[in-house]
Amino acid sequence: MGHNRDDPNPEDPMLAIDPALIPEHLRPVIEAMCRTGAELSRVIAKGPLAGKLGAGVGENSDGDQQKALDVMADEMFEAALRGTGVRYYASEEQETVLTLDPEGGYALATDPLDGSSNIDVNVTIGTIFSVFAAAESAEASFLRPASDQIAAGYIAYGPQTLLAVTFGAGTMLFVLDPDSGSFVLSEDRMALPEAAKEFSINASNRRHWTAPVRAYVEECEAGREGAKGKDMNFRWVGSLVAETHRILTRGGTFLYPADARPSYGNGRLRMVYEVAPMAFLVEQAGGKATDGTRPILSLTAEELHERRPFVFGSAEEVDRIAELHG
């Protein structure tokens, strides 16, 4: 449970989250992520009062536009993780891996601010992170089977600031108490509902979809008169953290597939920063995550900023999508 203090101090390393809920060897890392997430949530809550957070300030190494808040979040997490035992820091916002602590035992990958296109419209955005044991090199630390992750999580900045995290023994959910400044345990073991009533995909790309993806969406759209025998609701937020949290909470399925557009042959989401950590969280909550056919946790990234098709959610639906891929 969170620590209640009369005068909460965000710099207190014991304030952000109950240390008894974190593996001892990872406490400094997770505490740093929590403290920085709490600080970032305060900046986000100010909206335009904190400046033009959604202003474009350039492009990252993949050619995606960076927002001012993307860069700010990256700088905040990088600074906070120094001295916590993180040897290698890989960020979606940086071209190469940084060495923070040469003697550290961990490698942390992060999308510091996921869903930044939604900054100006007050939609839930978030931070995604993944932790590996550091290997002999920066490259070997991240270009390895996704099943090697020892922790993964996201911090969602919305009506509540939430932390979902797994250490390989289930997925826990915490809520940031604005009075104490603590992340307080809300669910000690999230369970993704087995039955799906919703599906999520960017329908504006329908003309570019492969036949199996189109077939699955048409099954969903057919409702109770179709093969599913039930009505399915369509959802699309455009923020991976928001989509994942909704599915973890009430079931459903998410698809960001490969399609026929130039540069979309491997989808658009990054394996190291987005796909692998979310797959770990989803599977630890009883769901499934694939690239359409193969389990994500069985796959290995070959490049730091590699993209990967991503399908996850209720197991029955994910299995059906794999079946349609043949």
Cβ proximity of 240 and 274 under 8 Å:
yes
Residue located via tokens 């991240």: 142
Dist CA 240 CA 125 (whole Å): 8
Residue 115, annotated as binding a ligand? yes
Name the nearest CA neighbour of 18 among 163, 191, 168, 170: 163
Within a 13 Å sphere around the CA of 217, how many CA atoms are in the beta-carbon half?
21
Q: What is the largest CA-CA distance in the chain?
A: 61
H helical segments located in 84-239: 138-142, 211-222
187 is in an annotated binding site: no
**Residue 248 annotated as binding site:** no
Q: Is 111 labelled as part of a ligand binding site? A: yes
Which residues are paired to 230 by β-bridges?
none
Interhelix angle 240-250/276-284, nearest 10 degrees: 10
Task: For residue 116, say whether it is annotated as part of any ligand binding site.
Answer: yes
Alpha helices per DSSP H over the chain = 27-46, 68-81, 138-142, 211-222, 240-250, 276-284, 315-325
The phi, psi pair for 200, rounded to 5°, reads -135, 125
Q: Is 114 annotated as a binding residue?
A: yes
Indicate the pairing of strand 86-91 with strand 106-114: parallel
117 marked as binding residue = yes
Q: Is 179 annotated as a binding residue?
A: no
HSE, CB side, 13 Å, CA atoms: give it for residue 22.
Answer: 27
Residue with tokens 């001012």: 68
Reduce the secondary structure of 281-304 to three states and give it as a string: HHHHCCCEEECCCCEHHHCECCCC
Whether 263 has a binding-site annotation, put simply, is: no
- Binding site, by residue number, is 92, 111, 113-117, 202, 274
- Binding site for substrate, by residue number, is 114-117, 202
- Binding site for Mg(2+), by residue number, is 92, 111, 113-114, 274
